[in-house]
Structure 1
Amino acid sequence: MTWLWSNISRIFEYLDQGGLVMEPLLLISVLMWVLIIKRGLYLRRMRVRNMPREMAAQLIQENQQPDFMEFRGATALVVSEFLKRREANPGVDRSTMDETVMAVASSFDKQLSVITVLASIAPLLGLLGTVLGMISTFDVISLHGTGNARAMAGGISEALISTQTGLLVAIPGLTMKNFLASRAQTLKHRVSSLGIFLGRRL
């Protein structure tokens, strides 16, 4: 318990040393990682427990919704969304299938742009903290000269900590965004291929 409180106090001390931008950086970091985890779990769910294409085609022919307790992947989602939109007209159904595939594929990219924006804002906030820290340092120099090293160190510490934190938030965030975008692109290819396969069966 003492170890826990010691680490918590160090975190608060670190945030305090970083200045005004640390709280927005912390908020951005938490929000960004919540979105990353949610998107990662969603894309993983789309990749696993997929039904075979032949079963998907059979469900469409029988106009029967898939069992989401057994199949949770992208194939089941395409079948379910298509059955909600179909009009029992083969010509119209092919267009409906294309629209369904586009809608499902676009859902894979949701929140990725928000993650990118949050990760891009973080180093800018860190840069703002650098500027504020250097302004504080120059204020000390203007009042006391270069003789008060302790007061100068506070401003320099604020500048460096805020910059460091901004980069620590941004680099993993952008890395995870690119990873999720790659997963989403793979799913888009699979869904497009599935749409062509099912379209031929209509």
Structure 2
Amino acid sequence: MFTEVFEAIRDFTETGGQVLLVIGLLIFVMWLLILERAFYLFVTHPVFKKSMVAQWQARQDRASWNAEQIRQKMVSQVSLRLNSGITIIQALVALCPLLGLLGTVTGMIEVFDVMAISGSGNARSMASGVSKATIPTMAGMVGALSGVFASTWLTRTAKRERTHIEDALQIQR
């Protein structure tokens, strides 16, 4: 069973060319980062948030200018932890279609080489180059779309959690 899956993946990557391997690696790294951020949001962040709120509640002075500065620092710490890695994910999302375009260009170069060598528009001889032109484009777009949805969710969740921590660390007047 594993050999069949491995052979199918190998055939697919051979059909799409070397750029498809780079796109696959890029998507793998992007989703590792997305899963790390999701793990942080669901597992680590609630513990950190509770400790920050407990630290704030333990303070005697929660109304002075100094207290406001400490509150700002705590909110900034939470915000930095929440937004860590999101810009990298967004950059990888933007890189996916560009690598797909690179795959399109390299595939079309192969098509033009076949046309120059054979001297005609033989469809059978151009098919390999056309598949190397379209498959990386499709893979880059699929990776970008999935990454856009995930990075949008991460960004929205980080904003919401920042608002929650700002509300939890109220200044007493």
TM-score range, shorter chain: 0.7 to 0.9
| Larger gyration radius, structure 1 or structure 2 | 1
CA distance in 2, matches of 1:147, 1:101: 64
CA distance 1:139–1:45, change in 2 (3 Å): same
CA distance in 2, matches of 1:186, 1:124: 31
Structural RMSD (CA): 2.3
Structure 2 residue aligned with 1:74: 49
Matches within 5 A, 1:156-167: 156-167=130-141
TM-score, structure 2 length as denominator?
0.87
Structure 2 residue aligned with 1:176: 150
Is it true that 1:139 corresponds to 2:113 in the alignment? yes
Q: How many residues align?
A: 170
TM-score, structure 1 length as denominator?
0.76
Deviations 1:52-80 (A, max 9, x none): xxxxxxxxxxxxxxxxxxxx252324545
Deviations 1:100-122 (A, max 9, x none): 11221232111111111101101
Q: Quick check: which one's helix share is greater?
A: 2
Q: Mark the runs of 5 or more structure 2 residues left unpaired by the alignment.
A: none
Matches within 5 A, 1:95-174: 95-146=69-120, 148-174=122-148
Q: Secondary structure at the match of 1:23?
A: helix
Structure 1 stretches of 4+ with a deviation exceeding 6 A read none
Q: Mark the runs of 5 or more structure 1 residues left unpaired by the alignment.
A: 49-71
**2:93 touches 2:148 (CA, 8 Å); kept in 1?**
yes
Structure 2 residue aligned with 1:60: none
CA distance in 2, matches of 1:174, 1:117: 10
Which of 7, 10, 28 pairs up with 1:30? 28
**2:30 touches 2:92 (CA, 8 Å); kept in 1?**
yes
